[in-house]
Amino acid sequence: MKTKFKCIALVILMGFTSSCFEDGDDNVTAGTSIKDFVWKAMNVVYLYKSNVNDLSNDRFATNADYQNYLDSNETPETLFEALIYDRENVDRFSFITSNYFELEQQLSGVTLNNGAEFNFYLVPGSTTSVFGVVRLVHPNSSASSANLSRGQVFNKINDISLDSSNLSSLLANNSYSLGLATYDDNNTETFSDDLIIDGNQTVTIVKEGYEENPIFNARVIDINAEKVGYLMYNSFVNEFDSELNVIFGDFKSQSIDHLVLDLRYNSGGSVQTAAALGSMITGQFQNQVFTTLKYNETLESNNFDYNFTNTLSNEEIINSLNLDKVYILTSNRSASASEMMVNSLKSYIEVVQIGGQTVGKSQASQIVYDSPNLGRENANPGHTYALLPLIAITVNKNDETVPPSGIVPTVNLLERPAYYGTIGDAEEPLLKAALQDIQGSNRLAFPSEIEAPPTGLNALNPLETLMYIE
């Protein structure tokens, strides 16, 4: 998937001036100089600075103490890792790179894409064998040209059976063939007796330059004389704000009674776009706080409120629905701005969340360079290290954050490999659950207790969960 990114501009130029000692390593090795950059940058911008004793402003009494600390860490990478707060539970996303040119390309969307998205699972009864399910096929892509479709199962790439050790390397190829398979659930609700049966059909897909439209599906569904607007929205990308507003204009002209916002595969994006979308859903809270962005104590003067608004950044009037209830579909791919949407809206209106538990990331990141103001200009020409740390977090009007473990849905209803359904179709399981509740069948009064699917292998990496700020 193409990843959109905007650099977060600090309102003030911080420099490396927060510590109580002089920078005395002009004549030391390059490795030490890089470690000096790592510590001083994290001391300025890191969101969880106050939780890391080694980042305290008074941590070192002298230059010698500081130098000894740097020397005790073998590499810039080990130092960076030592400065991360609760890597397993809280900050799973900050990272360091030795080549910021490659990072910039990835974050600006200079990547190749075959137009297919997959979910991966362990084969029932196995701890290593893997199979995949096509979750989305983007239009006008290699995957759509090859007639790949949502819900198709495969267990081989280039005729190699998939396992947890070879999956990443096989997917890294610019061109590969999927060996399609059949998922047999044995007509039971349990997964332990399910089978993945080899097929004899292959589908070849090729990565190429592709710009994804985040508006994947939008339609109005008529049920019991009521109109339900449905929108699958896969990334908060400000370049598509006007097109998103047109969709809501159509919803408004058709006088929809309910809205189902599908964010199950949306892993983040623009805070400003999220605030605009929240304003399209509501409209009755103009100029009230949608979300607040909070930095650490060093940069708290940069804290900023994003308010509900009636215009886009280009002054276009927003089409607002004035709803007091919304259904939001989520999964373990829903992160950052998607979670902020749930967290911010629930402090104003009723949010019925259907699907899986979200990722648990409502923090924003920024590339930090070795330069006087931490920006790209005048970066140290002696190396290409850069950091991508968490630097701010979003909270709703009640000062509530998204839990690090993610947001638990109103009803836990996971996609099942045997039947994914068609996106936007009234029988697709997650959408169907929302429609049943709208029809008053009390579907959501009894959360699903069915067995969870086979263990998933779909952890998001830091580059997929970026939240950015204009």
- pLDDT tens-place string over residues 164-196: 899 999 999 999 999 999 999 988 888 888 999
- In this predicted structure, the answer to whether residue 5 has a pLDDT above a threshold of 80 is no
Domain covering 215-447, topology: 2-enoyl-CoA Hydratase; Chain A, domain 1 (3.90.226)
Query: Per-residue pLDDT tens for 390-404?
Result: 999 999 999 999 999
Whether 348 and 402 have beta carbons less than 8 Å apart is answered as: no
Q: Which alpha helices (H) appear in 46-172, and where do they start and end?
A: 63-71, 76-82, 100-107, 142-145, 167-171
Same fold for the pair 116-206 and 215-447: no
pTM for the structure as a whole: 0.87
Would you place residue 211 in the very low, low, confident or very high pLDDT band (cuts 50, 70, 90)? confident
Helix (H, G, I), strand (E, B) or coil at 205: strand
Rounded mean pLDDT, 201-227: 94
* Integer Cα distance of 14 and 11 in angstroms: 9
CB 6 within 8 A of CB 239: no
CATH topology (fold) of 116-206: Pdz3 Domain (2.30.42)
Tens-place pLDDT, residues 339-384: 999 999 999 999 999 999 999 998 988 899 999 999 999 999 999 9
Is the per-residue pLDDT at 26 higher than 70?
no
Task: Give the pLDDT confidence score for residue 110 in this predicted structure.
Answer: 53
Closest by CA to 37, choosing from 381, 364, 393, is 381
Q: CA 99 to CA 121: how far, in whole Å? A: 32
Place of tokens 């005048």: 378
CA-angle at 260, arms to 470 and 225, nearest 5°: 140
Query: In a 10 Å sphere around its CB, with 0-12 CB exposed, 13-18 middle and 19+ buried, how is residue 372 labelled?
Result: middle
| Residue-level pLDDT at 37 | 97
Q: Residue 334 contacts by C-beta under 8 Å, 6 or more apart in sequence?
A: 263, 264, 265, 266, 267, 355, 356, 358, 359
Nearest Cα neighbor of 359 from 375, 388, 379, 339 is 339
CB–CB of 296/310 below 8 Å? no
What is the overall mean pLDDT for the chain?
88
What does the alpha-carbon distance between residue 331 and residue 347 come to, in Å, rounded to a whole number?
21
More confident residue, 469 or 401: 401
* φ/ψ of residue 252, rounded to 5: -65, -40
Helices (H), 209-292: 241-253, 271-281
Q: What CA–CA distances, in Å, run from 381 to 30, 171, 347, 378?
A: 11, 34, 47, 8
Residue 387, pLDDT > 70, answer yes
Query: Which residues, including other chains, have CB under 8 Å from residue 254's CB and lie 6 or more apart?
Result: 220, 227, 229
**Pairing mode, if any, of strands 411-412 and 350-355?**
parallel
Domain ranges of the chain: 30-107, 116-206, 215-447
Name 449's Cβ contacts closer than 8 Å, sequence gap at least 6: none
- How confident is the model over 417-466, as pLDDT tens digits? 999 999 999 999 999 999 999 998 555 544 444 445 565 566 555 555 55
